[in-house]
Amino acid sequence: MNLELVDYLGVAVFAASGALAAARKNLDVLGLVVIGTVTAIGGGTLRDVLLDRVVFWIAHPSHLYVILFAALATVVWTRRFDPPQRALAVLDAFGLAFFSISGAQIAEGLEHKGVVVVVMGTLTGVAGGVMRDVLTGEIPLIFRKGQIYATAAIVGAVVYLLLQGPIARDIAAFVSMFVVAAIRLAAIAWNWTLPVFTLPERK
Amino acid sequence: MNLELVDYLGVAVFAASGALAAARKNLDVLGLVVIGTVTAIGGGTLRDVLLDRVVFWIAHPSHLYVILFAALATVVWTRRFDPPQRALAVLDAFGLAFFSISGAQIAEGLEHKGVVVVVMGTLTGVAGGVMRDVLTGEIPLIFRKGQIYATAAIVGAVVYLLLQGPIARDIAAFVSMFVVAAIRLAAIAWNWTLPVFTLPERK
Amino acid sequence: MNLELVDYLGVAVFAASGALAAARKNLDVLGLVVIGTVTAIGGGTLRDVLLDRVVFWIAHPSHLYVILFAALATVVWTRRFDPPQRALAVLDAFGLAFFSISGAQIAEGLEHKGVVVVVMGTLTGVAGGVMRDVLTGEIPLIFRKGQIYATAAIVGAVVYLLLQGPIARDIAAFVSMFVVAAIRLAAIAWNWTLPVFTLPERK
């Protein structure tokens, strides 16, 4: 699967999810674009800085036009049509799938070991959304009670690694992206949760 | 215009603005210095990491003394004199002007394209203030309803690019800094705002 | 003192402190591990990115296993035994000591000057905890009124620098770690505070 295409798809859906999140906060139009941009480039930028690569949107600035278009289109769309419930979460699920596997692929391509590939995939997938939530004053989605979010990225990155031997790299990437999106969407649809651990309330 | 001098001016006014913001939060004296330092070096550090340059305050540690002096002078000054209304916003406007154009200049000097120059200028200008606001538990100034803030940086960076052909680089930098500060200060003075977009409240 | 060993100790205690902080927020088990990981790798990652080194946990992925083990052990332990009061603060004090001096040592080994060594040590020591607090929606511990926290790291880094001439590097590192931990623990035990500066309430 073409890595660049995946990054373009990833920034587009994350830009839309960021703009949608910002619209719920009554930000102005530039705020929507800025939050959309941060959501879209956050994870990939962190990936590239940590792996000491040229940052993807500096190397290929056309990502920035895609982001601008996706964020503005989201604004126009939400003005005209009632956004379906959970539109934000669904877009976010696809962004998570695209970026977590692109992060895993790039780390694996640089000959990093299993656990680094998984952590890098997860970071790439979740960091943009975490930045979006921190900037808009929310507890990050990823940390809300029992949400299956980073879990989906982790499982997907592990699947990607396990598929390295048997099948072609592109198919491995496609299958593992499907796994991430499926787990995340299923978790949204059926309210799957992880066990919550709490400290005993003794003092 | 001397790039290093601009960075020194930028860190000094942002250190003061950060210390002033921290003083409003009842932080201790070290908290003031730390918040002032983060505000002052945040944008330029992000710029240097993203562009893979040596971080400016590691290359020229004297910035750190300027920051320490500016932050402590602000503390002393606010103990003795009533800080004029909007002092924070005015200092911040100059920091925004200095750093957004220095970011644009450096990106342009590294042969980056138009949109990357604009994004890098904006990031350099706003990131320190965003970090200041996140660390003190505020919704970042840049995202408050209708604030003309990042807009000023974006317009300034575009002006800087448009002036590249006709006039000398230093004059282009000076003029575009003036544009950033003028837009931001005018927005503060006359409460200029951008339109706010809200999602319809249907469920 | 072996730098790698110090990084292992640092990530272990910070992973435990992060997991403990997350447990107080009713996060799920993966949230605990993620917050523990961010707390543990945040400071050292920032240090390595700023100094343009290979990020320590990418170079030595076994840190990630130590973090996973420490975070999960903390979860199990807090389910079975009542965590002693201030356990979080005490673990955090040791993380601060290990990382602030490792940051100072590495900066000093790269021939950086005094003030850069102190700032880099402080950043390395405090950044993971700041990220932990920002992600869990707290005002960072480091900025709470009068807390002696970054102060301990700064004093320790200065002590480390002063000891460079007279004694062996390893002993200097050990002594200055002891200084950081002692100052921080004493501040917790006897509620030492720094003076708080407030703006006059005139309008």
* Arithmetic mean of pLDDT, B121-149: 83
Nearest-by-Cβ selection for A143 from C24, C37, C135: C135
Interface touch B37/C119, C-beta < 8 Å: yes
Q: Which pLDDT does position C201 carry in this prediction?
A: 47
Q: What is the pLDDT of residue A203?
A: 39
| Coil vs helix vs strand at A196 | strand
The reply to whether C116 touches chain A by the CB within 8 Å rule is no
Read off the pLDDT of each residue in B40-55 and give the average, rounded to a whole number: 93
* pLDDT surpasses 90 at B47: yes
Interface of C with A in 34-93 (CB under 8 A): 34-35, 37, 45, 49, 52, 54-55, 57-58, 61, 64-65, 75, 78-79, 82-83, 85
- Averaged pLDDT, A167-171: 79
User: Contact A50/C49, CB-based, under 8 Å?
Assistant: yes
- CA nearest to A140 within chain C: C135
Enumerate the residues of chain C whose CB falls inside 8 A of the CB of residue B134. Answer: 134
Q: Indicate yes or no: CB of C30 within 8 angstroms of CB of A151.
A: yes
Rounded-to-integer distance, Cα A185 and Cα A92, Å: 10
Average pLDDT, chain B: 84
Residues of chain C neighbouring B133 (CB-CB closer than 8 A): none
Q: Can you give the pLDDT at residue B116?
A: 92
pLDDT tens readout for residues A63-107: 999 999 999 888 888 777 666 667 777 888 888 999 999 999 999
Q: What ipTM describes this predicted complex?
A: 0.82
pLDDT at residue B202, as a whole number? 42
* Assigned token pair, A146: 């029992």
A194: left (phi over 0), alpha (psi -120 to 50) or beta: beta
Share of chain B above pLDDT 70, in %: 89
Map tokens 């601060």 to a residue. C96
Which of B30, B79, B135 comes nearest C194 by C-beta?
B30
Among B27, B75, B78, beta carbon nearest to C143: B27
CB neighbourhood size of B102 (10 A): 27
SS3 track for chain C: CCHHHHHHHHHHHHHHHHHHHHHCCCCEHHHHHHHHHHHHHHHHHHHHHHCCCCCHHHHCCHHHHHHHHHHHHHHHHHHHCCCCCCHHHHHHHHHHHHHHHHHHHHHHHCCCCHHHHHHHHHHHHHHHHHHHHHHCCCCCHHHCCCECCHHHHHHHHHHHHHCCCCCCHHHHHHHHHHHHHHHHHHHHHHCCECCECCCCCCC
Mean pLDDT value across residues B153-165:
89
Residue B201 has pLDDT above 50, yes or no: no
pLDDT band with cut points at 50, 70 and 90 for residue A202: very low
Q: What is the pLDDT of residues A142-166, one digit of tens each?
A: 777 667 888 899 999 999 999 887 6
| A chain contacts of residue C23, beta-carbon cutoff 8 Å | 197-199
pLDDT at position A61 over 60: yes
Q: Map residue A147 onto helix, strand or coil.
A: strand
Whole-angstrom Cα distance, residue B95 to residue B77? 19
Alpha-carbon span C157 to A94, nearest angstrom: 45
pLDDT value, residue B195: 64
| Record: contact C58-A200, CB cut-off 8 A | no
From B45, B75, B134, residue closest to C134, measured CB to CB: B134
Does B89 score more than 60 pLDDT?
A: yes
Which of chain C's residues have a Cβ under 8 Å away from the Cβ of B22?
143
Average pLDDT over every residue of A24-48:
87
C21 to chain A, any CB pair closer than 8 A? The answer is no
- Binning pLDDT at 50, 70 and 90, where does residue A194 land? low
Q: Which residues of A touch C64 (CB under 8 A)?
A: 115-116, 119
pLDDT at C202: 43
pLDDT at res. B203: 39
| Residues of chain C under the 50 pLDDT cut | 201-203
**pLDDT tens sequence across A128-141:** 988 988 888 777 87
**Predicted pLDDT at A69:** 93
